[in-house]
Every structure is written in C-alpha cells, then in structure tokens.
Amino acid sequence: MRIAGKGLVDTSKTISFTFDGQVYQGHPGDTLASALLANGVRLMGRSFKYHRPRGVLTAGSEEPNALVSVADEPNIRATTLEIFEGMAARSQNAWPSLKTDIMAVNDLISPFLGAGFYYKTFMWPKSFWEAVYEPIIRRAAGLGALAGKSVADNYEKAFAFCDVLVIGGGPAGIMAALTAAEAGKDVILADEDTLLGGRLLAESEAVNGQPGQEWAAAMQQRLSQMKNVRVMTRTTVTGAYDQGTYGALETVSRRGEGPRECFWRIVTAHAILCAGALERPIAFPNNDRPGIMMASAVRAYVNRWGVAPGQNVMVFGNNDNAHRTAHDLIAAGVNVVGLVDSRADVDVSGDFPIYRDGRIVATKGRHQLESVTIEHAGGTRLVRTDCLAMSGGWNPTVHLTCHMNGRPQWSEDIASFVPVDGMIPGMVTAGACKGIFDTAGCLAEGARVASDVLGVAQAQVPVADDSAYRIAPLWAVEGKGRKWLDFQNDVHVKDIRLAAQENFRSVEHMKRYTTQGMATDQGKSSNVAALAVLADATGRGIPETGTTTFRPPYVPVSIAALGAGSQGHGFAPKRLTTSYAASVARGAPMIEAGLWYRPSYFPAAGETTWRESCDREVRMVRETVGICDVSTLGKIDIQGPDAAVFLDFVYANTFSTLKPGKVRYGLMLREDGHVMDDGTTACLAPDHYVMTTTTAAAGQVMKHLEFVRQALRPELDVQIVSVTEQWAQFAVAGPGSRDLLNAVLDAPIDSDQFAYMSCGAVDVCGVPGRLFRISFSGEHAYEVAVPARYGDSLFRLLVAQAEAMDGGAYGMEALNVLRIEKGFITHAEIHGRVTAFDIGMDRMVSRKKDCIGQAAAERPGLRGADRQQLVGLRAKAPLSGGAHLFNAGAAATRLNHQGYVTSHCYSPTLDCYLGLGFLENGRDRHGETIKMRDHLRDLTAEVEVCHPVFLDPEGERLRG
C-alpha cells in the first residue's frame, strides 16, 4: 500500500517489527499505524464495551481505536508510536485473538447493554454486588493490562524556564516562535510530533512557493540553530497550572536507550497556544468499521507517510476541507469512488463521482469496510469501497485554555467552540485553535499575537493558501444501525438521547451516565458532536447546553513519568546511620524508622527470640549502661537575633527564658490546635539553638519552620538549617553512664557541672563535640554528638566501654520498652488527632505569649471529660497496638467503644504487660478495670487503667 515518491519516510532503510506475533516491515519515520496500513492491516483493536472490531481513525494523539501494548506499557496510541527495530506490539482487549474475540458476544446482546445498564441492573440483590457482579465486571472491563511488576526503564523529570512558551509547532506556532526569537526572547517551542509543521506535514500545499513540508523543515532547522530557542519535539504540553507553570511530557526513547519519558515543569512569563484543531466525525449508521477514517488522517497517511489507506476510497463531508482529501488521493494515484457532500449547493469538481445533498446511511463489512450506501439528491446507491474518509468539521483544540475552569464560547461561523483569551493568566491563543482554518491566516496570526504580547516587531509572514472555510453542520444521520460518537467507549446517538429522556439533561450528568468522553482520548473527537445531539434532544441550543469540564492531562501521562526518580529507593531512600555497619556486624536485624535503618535488637549468644534480647537490653540499661544511636532524630540549627522569639512562636511553651547551656522540652502545635511534634531544644549560646525533633516528623517540622519563617513571621531575623546528617549522636543511658563518658571525654564531668537538662561543648578523644544531659529511658543518661565522620568510631568505642562494664548496645525494641515504662510519648501517641489536653500537657501551652495553635486549641470540643485522654494500661496478658477499649461488662461493639491502645510492650522491670492508650475521661479513671479487644487478632485482655508513668514517677533516676 506504499505510494512511490510520496511521504517523508526513509524507504531506503527497513525496520522489522511484530504486531500480535506477525512480522512486518516499515521504514524510519513510520508510526505503527502507518506501517500497519502500509502492510494492509486494517484491524488494530477492539472497543471497550462491545468489543467491536476497530481500525485506525486518526493520525494523531486523539486516536481512540488503535491502542496497543509494547513491552510493559499498555494503551499506547499506534498513531504516535514510532516503530523501531525489534519492536513487539500487541493488540488489547481481545481473547483469544484480535480477529476472533469471544467477548464480541457483548455486541450481540447490545440492546440490553445500553446507557445506564450497570446502574439499573446490578442494584439487586444487594449481596450479589461484591460476590458476583463486581468480579465479573472487573474481568470483562479494561483495555491494556499492567505487567504487575516494576518498570525496568528509566524515567526522568526536568525543569525549564523561558520568556515565551509556544505550544504547538504548526504554522502559527512557528511564526510565533520566530517573532519572539528574533526579538531576543528566550523561547521554548514544544510540539507533540517528531517534526515541526503541524498540518503542513499532512497537506499538499505550498508556503512561499515551496512545498509546506520543506518550508517547515527549513524553519525547524533555523529555529534549532538559534541560541535562545529550544525546540522540543515529541513533547506534549499536558496541563496549565498556577503562576505560569505548565506540565509537559517528552517521549525520549522506547528502545531502552536512556530514559523512556521525561516529565517537564516549564515556568514561563508568556504562553502562546498554537495547538491547532482536531477533525470530528459524523455519526451515521455503523460508522465505526475498520477502514472508516477521518478525512484529514487519510491525507496525512498519503502525504506524510506515503501510504494509501485503501484502494477504492469514498469521501464524505459537510465542509470544503473534505474536498482536499479527494483531490490529494487522485494526485497520488489512488482511486476515489466518490465524494459525498451533505450540502445541496456545494461547488465542487473532480475526476470522481460527486453526490450532492448526500448522506451515508449504511455500511457493510466486519473486519474491514466493504461497501457504503448513499442517499443523495439523485436517489440511493450502494458503492463498493474499502476506505471511507469522513469529515464533520474541525474543533479548535481549546483544552489547555480550560484547565483553570474556564469555558470556551460557541462560534456559529465554524460550528464549534473557540477559546476566550485570559482564561489562563499569561496565555493567549493563535491559529487553528482560535478558529482560523486557512494557512495564510495561521501564519499571520502567529506572528501578530507574538508581536502584540511581547511588544516586538513581527517576523516576515510568508505567502500561503488563504481559502475560506465553509461548513454546514451535520451531526448525525438517521438510519438503521447505531451511530457511534465515542468510538472507544461505544457511546452512540441513542445513548445520548436516552440520557436526556431519563432526565440526565446536564452535560456533566450525560457524560457520566453514558461514559461519553471518558475514555483515554477524553472525547477529543466526539465531545462536540455529542453535545450537539444532547442539545437537539433537550430542545436547547449548543451554547446553552455547554461543554464538559476539561482537566489535565491533555494526553495520558504515565505515573512513572510523574514520579520520575521516586521509584524504589528513589521513592523511599535507604538512609543509614554511621553505626549501621557496626550494628549489622553484631547481627542486629535492621528495621525502617522514618526511612532510616536502625537496629531492632542485638542478639547475644544463646538467645533464640527477639524477646530474650530485648528483655536483656532493658535490664542492662536499668542496671548498668547501654548505648543507642539516636542520630536519626531531626536536628535543626536555629540562629539569629530573633531566634528566641521565633521559638516562642512555634513552640507552645516559652523558650526565650532558656539560658545558654540549658535544654528544655518543647511541644509544637499545628495551626488547628492539634499536636504536631515534641522534642528538646538546647541553647548553645545567645541567639544559637539546636532543636531536636522525632525521627518520623523531622521533615515535616523543617517544612513547618520554613513556612513560619517565610510566610507568618518574615520580619524576624532568624536563619534555620537542618543538620541532622552532620552530627552523629548517641545515647549513653544507665546508672553507669557518667562513668562511661568520663572514660572517653578529655575532661571529666560531674553532676554539678552537667545537671539534668544541661548541655555544652566537650572534647571526645580530641574531637570537638556536644554533650546533652537528657533521657528518653528514664535513667541517668546523656546524649553525646560528634561530627558524622567520627560516628562509626565513637559508636564502636562507646559499645566496647559499655561491654567492659557489663552493658552494651540496645536497639529499637528495648528503646520502646524503656520509654513506655517511663510514659514518654512518640508519634504512636501524637499521631495528628490529639491535643495538648489529650496527652495531659495543656498547661505547657503558655497564655503569656502568642504561639501557633494556641487559640485553636481552646475551641469547644478540643478539651473536656468527653475527650479520649492518655492513660497507662497494665495487664497480665499481652496487649495489642490498635486494639479497642471497652467498659468491663460492655459488648465489644462500635457503639460501646471507649478508646484504643497506641503502644504496648512486656516490661521485664515490672514483670507485666504495659501499654499507652487513649480512654474517654481517662485521667479520672485510674484504678478502673476495663476490657481490651482486638477483633483482627482475636485477642482479649483485662486491663487496669493507671497513670502513664509506670516507673520512677518522681524522676529520681534521671535527675540523680
């Protein structure tokens, strides 16, 4: 089906590829659709609902029919997929084969599967939905299937900035980019195609006396050589967002060479939309057979790819633009069996039969079009044909202009919607997407708009065709058979009328009731015709009927591209402490804690369970000394003359009174009055503080502080920076902690010098460091910090010293037991739904100063006896995290729910099971016995409610 001497493909080179296992040949420059058509393949897909045979309909990204899978990527449009050596493409939504699809039985029972079928049919009996209906529907539904494994290919994301972003590389886009570039502006010209030129690539018209294709190639070369221009082909601008930001998807390579796709975020001062227009079909009986195509697509395959879509082609249209197709086919040596024009007074001539005032009222052929039936002014006639080129007119590509909820306006002149400039701040439109459908007008408009927007001189406008666009709207043809609108989702005219009849008269209701425009092409070629049918069915005009909401993305964007760099460890980086290697060498299992890998426990010889190790480590800390790496705590350095004022504002309690050399516990609230985080802040010197946060909330707190500094208190002279990874920090806890430290510090310390909640500079074996007298275990304890490069050495040294004192390292399991025994909270308790009142710290919220969350925390309902309050839980049987609490004699049902367990452990110190949790009016219920019930794990326990501090409530151990 190749046409000698036509097209832009390189026929001197051959590319082998497969489609459904069959080997075919194409050439560089071919898409899969053009290569298959060249090999005589018409059947390329199956429709979603009825599994009707479908061939290619268009030649661009609006394609609804020819969707294929390549490797692990489904739903790729064959019309935009460039072939490459060894490519293996597969058809979709068919079993056992594309030609013989068992699910095509749906088409036989289609009278029972009309619009709203699912809503009406699967409501009864109710119990059948999950057991019967949903599993069947899920197996039958879908187009391409995901591979079910991680994508091996790379994806990238990138950022770009420019003075002018020109969207679309057709005649208008080229002239807009040239005008801006010659004025010295930084220009990005983005187009989804592989070449610039837009419709010029598919037409046989001249620009400045030379073929349009050659003129476009020369302009692409000229623009590419300009240093202030970036030409981005294979790049589709997918969405318009706030503050001049645009999303764009670049297809880089599907050959496995480099990234597959790159998602761009482009920020620009000005955007000029030159996205062209999309041809729309006419809804006539059985207008979906393989071989029925858009007239513009037929011209594209002939003129650009040198492929004849058929040997005997019929043309059907309601506008002068359709006539081009017939003349181009004749010029290429393809037989045209007739031109059907729906207008009675049309002026057309050609070396082919012409049927004025005509309609296509029937078609025949299952896997390929065989004939059409024409009704025209002269009667009815059946014509044998294998390709029908139809044209119902053109729709300007207004989508991006509506991405901020703008609405286009109706134009009677072109019988379509046109954009309204200003709907996207900083964006203007030009060319066919504005309703200008002649080449000369597009060229001139692109230059003029760029000149007006930028206030610069226009580039010289070339001479081109200026033929007027004339159309007489024809949306649907009456006749026997279904008249398809949405080819992918199998929505036809009768479905739209049924929706209106059942009072789904709003365009948005109709869309959801029928699924019109909800396929992967988002109704690019079907929406306007469907709106016209709805308008007719409801007795309204098209402008009154309105449009559906256009949302990004303009074309489907893979999640892998949006999340480029966030796959595997890119999504959840594996963060290692300086003690990681030493911990692994000691056999410690590593667990994730806020992306950090921390030791769960350190098994000793003879220990077979984690509980044995954990119990030993807890007793070790309580009786001698233990070492724990706490480097993962967030560490934020805060400096400046207003640092104390800043801390007073972000913390609930007061920090401006904290003296150098002292540490204070702080509680941080969100703006809604709920607890965000807790931690300690040390005053190292006047105007210099180091804040510690929980491991889990380190990033959240840092973002919060930056927001406060930049947005809420920009007048404060304060600087903040995260130093979490710059310092390795280790807890030394237990009765022997000071003796151990004095063995490694250059200058010994005592309790008078380093009282509880003190801090200061120290030298550790000649290395300058910091020492903090704080405790998360309830024991006499310290935290010693050194620059991270010394962390591994210091950990090994501390553990060796501890082991010499019958102590050693302890892990996360023991750390959790130690803090529960002492009643210390973590994000298991401050999980985002609790207030300072709930955890018994409402007195920490200062009334002498303003702070974030102070006023909101006083709102009704955020304090009082009906709130669930932090309590301790003591039991003889194991507790369970997330288990619910009930009154002793109450049934364990939702209505009787009294609270829940947040943390639990076995305490070797107290020889019982302990837990923390929240209980309604819990602080007044100490001593009461209640019931814990975990339905998921089938656990029940009798629990005593008590104070959350189980061990050393007076704090004598940690202060001694």
Q: Which residue has the higher pLDDT, 838 or 105?
A: 838
pLDDT category, 685, cuts 50, 70, 90? very high
Q: Residue type for 786, please?
A: V
Nearest to 827 by CA among 695, 922, 726: 695
Q: Which two tokens stand for residue 268?
A: 């620009």
Across the chain, what does the average pLDDT equal?
94
pLDDT category, 107, cuts 50, 70, 90? confident
223, pLDDT greater than 90: yes
Give the residue-averaged pLDDT of 503-515: 92
Phi/psi zone of residue 543: left (φ > 0), alpha (ψ -120 to 50 degrees), beta?
Answer: alpha
Q: What are phi and psi of 96, to 5 degrees?
A: -85, -15
Q: Specify whether the CB–CB gap between 304 and 202 falls below 8 A.
A: yes
Q: Specify whether the CB–CB gap between 153 and 256 falls below 8 A.
A: yes
Phi/psi zone of residue 379: left (φ > 0), alpha (ψ -120 to 50 degrees), beta?
Answer: left
- Residue 627: half-sphere exposure toward Cβ, Cα within 13 Å: 29
- For residue 229, what pLDDT is reported? 97
- For residue 180, what pLDDT is reported? 97
Percent of the chain whose pLDDT exceeds 90: 86
- For residue 583, what pLDDT is reported? 98
- For residue 367, what pLDDT is reported? 94
Dist. CA 284–CA 296, nearest whole Å: 18
568, pLDDT greater than 90: no
Q: Which two tokens stand for residue 334?
A: 């393809």
* pLDDT tens track for 833-879: 999 999 999 999 999 999 999 999 999 999 998 999 999 999 999 99
User: With a threshold of 0.85, does the pTM exceed it?
Assistant: no
118, pLDDT greater than 80: no
438, pLDDT greater than 90: yes
- For residue 348, what pLDDT is reported? 87
Q: Specify whether the CB–CB gap between 627 and 799 falls below 8 A.
A: yes
Question: Which residues are CB-contacts of 52 (< 8 A; sequence separation ≥ 6)?
Answer: 46, 104, 107, 288, 490
Burial of 214 (0-12, 13-18, 19+ CB in 10 A): middle
Residue 596's alpha-carbon distances to 569, 632, 902, in angstroms, are 12, 7, 22
pLDDT category, 134, cuts 50, 70, 90? confident
Phi/psi zone of residue 118: left (φ > 0), alpha (ψ -120 to 50 degrees), beta?
Answer: alpha
pLDDT category, 654, cuts 50, 70, 90? very high
153, pLDDT greater than 80: no
Phi/psi zone of residue 365: left (φ > 0), alpha (ψ -120 to 50 degrees), beta?
Answer: left
- For residue 608, what pLDDT is reported? 94
- For residue 128, what pLDDT is reported? 81
Instruction: Calculate the CA 541 to chain-centre distance.
Output: 37
- For residue 893, what pLDDT is reported? 95
Dist. CA 302–CA 306, nearest whole Å: 5
- For residue 108, what pLDDT is reported? 83
- Residue 291: half-sphere exposure toward Cβ, Cα within 13 Å: 23
- For residue 297, what pLDDT is reported? 97
User: 743-779 b/e with 16+ CB inside 10 Å = b?
Assistant: ebbeeebeeeebeebbbbebebeeeebbbbbbbbbbb
pLDDT category, 136, cuts 50, 70, 90? confident
Give the residue-averaged pLDDT of 774-790: 97
Dist. CA 14–CA 197, nearest whole Å: 25
Instruction: Calculate the CA 294 to chain-centre distance.
Output: 33
Q: What angle do CA 527, 529, 533 make, to 5 degrees?
A: 115
Dist. CA 633–CA 317, nearest whole Å: 70
Instruction: Calculate the CA 565 to chain-centre distance.
Output: 13
Q: Specify whether the CB–CB gap between 442 and 431 falls below 8 A.
A: yes
- For residue 200, what pLDDT is reported? 97
Name all domains of the chain by residue range, CATH numbers in brackets: 15-112 (3.10.20.440), 155-278+396-454 (3.50.50.60), 281-392 (3.50.50.60), 474-540 (1.10.10), 593-632+726-819 (3.30.1360.120), 636-720 (3.30.70.1400), 855-959 (2.40.30.110)
- The full 3-state SS of 373-428, as one line of letters, equals EEEECCEEEEEECCEEEEECCEEECCHHHHCCCCCCEEECCCCEEECCCCCCCCEE
Task: Identify the weakest region by mean pLDDT among 108-122, 383-397, 814-828, 939-953.
Answer: 108-122
Dist. CA 636–CA 638, nearest whole Å: 6
Dist. CA 5–CA 405, nearest whole Å: 47
- For residue 144, what pLDDT is reported? 83
DSSP class of residue 934?
E
Dist. CA 382–CA 709, nearest whole Å: 77
Instruction: Calculate the CA 679 to chain-centre distance.
Output: 34
Dist. CA 527–CA 280, nearest whole Å: 9
User: 597-620 b/e with 16+ CB inside 10 Å = b?
Assistant: bbbbbbbeeebeeeeebbbbbbeb
* pLDDT tens track for 910-935: 999 999 999 999 999 999 999 999 99
- For residue 119, what pLDDT is reported? 74
- For residue 241, what pLDDT is reported? 96
Strand partners, 959: none
DSSP class of residue 461?
P
- For residue 920, what pLDDT is reported? 96
958, pLDDT greater than 80: yes
Rg (CA), the chain: 36
At residue 685, the 3 state secondary structure works out as strand
Q: Which two tokens stand for residue 657?
A: 């009174």
* pLDDT tens track for 54-87: 999 999 999 999 999 998 889 999 999 999 999 9
DSSP string, 820-888: HHHT---TTTSSSS-BTTTTT-GGGS-SSS--TTTTGGGSTTSSSTTSEEEEEEEESS---TT-EEEET
Give the residue-averaged pLDDT of 419-447: 95
103, pLDDT greater than 90: no
117, pLDDT greater than 90: no
Q: What share of the chain is helix, strand, coil (3-state, %, to 5)?
A: 25, 30, 45
Percent of the chain whose pLDDT exceeds 70: 100
- For residue 114, what pLDDT is reported? 79
Give the residue-averaged pLDDT of 877-902: 96
Q: Specify whether the CB–CB gap between 638 and 689 falls below 8 A.
A: yes
Q: How many CB atoms lie within 10 A of CB 109?
A: 9
Give the residue-averaged pLDDT of 333-345: 95
17, containing H or E segment? strand 15-19
